[in-house]
Amino acid sequence: MYKKWGQNTFQNIAKSEQTHMDTVKVLLDKYSITDPVVSSEVGVFTALEMQKLYDGLVAKGNVSLVEALTVGTIVEDFDIRDLNKFLAETDNEDIQIAYQNLNKGSRNHLRAYVRQLERNGGEYTPQYISQVEYDEIIAGEQERGSVDAKGQGQDMGSRQGQGRGDNGGERGMNRVQ
């Protein structure tokens, strides 16, 4: 979407998402889990459902800048829902920390997309998370630093989670960015 619309938000978040992908890759390697990403080519998925979703979102994003920003917002909405679900399903501390940090990044990305969407005359109604959770996220401040095992933020002075960073893959829908 950055190549099509020149909106820096897409480029910045894509870079941040690569950091998120790298985080997941460390866990996949640590626990000897086969990486589902078999191609580094943007937009190529082995799961047919993900491929259809990606293709539909890209088509929507190619219509206009507002639609492209809406697609970015949809992706983050979807990711937050999934990360909340996955977090509730694990008691592994490494994975909990990773999910909490990824979720923090997605909340920051959601804020960035919504801010740009509204600046360009668009609006968004959440499709995957509740309106209450969405409103709380949007009203919240930019989250910085990492999250520890207890879900407590630690401002480490990092730039991660500031909408600056992935190409995505089947570990998330972030390849749309």
Query: What residue spans define the domains of the chain?
Result: 2-176
Nearest to 148 by CA among 103, 107, 97: 97
Token readout for 28 is 């996949």
**54-77 pLDDT per residue, tens:** 999 999 999 999 999 999 999 999
- Say if residue 162's pLDDT is above 70: no
153-154 vs 146-147, strand pairing mode: antiparallel
CA dist., res. 59 & res. 75, Å (int): 14
pLDDT grade for 149, boundaries at 50, 70 and 90: low
Give residue 90's region: left, alpha or beta (phi > 0; psi -120 to 50).
beta
Instruction: Determine whether domain 2-176 maps to CATH 1.20.1260.10.
Output: yes
d(CA 102, CA 100): 5
3-state SS, residue 172? strand
Instruction: Give the percent of the chain with pLDDT over 90.
Output: 66
Residue 152 pLDDT: 52
Looking up tokens 């910045």 gives 12
Query: For residue range 103-121, what is the model confidence (pLDDT) as tens digits?
Result: 999 999 999 999 999 999 9
Rounded CA separation 73/124 (Å): 8
The helix (run of H) or strand (run of E) holding residue 154 is strand 153-154
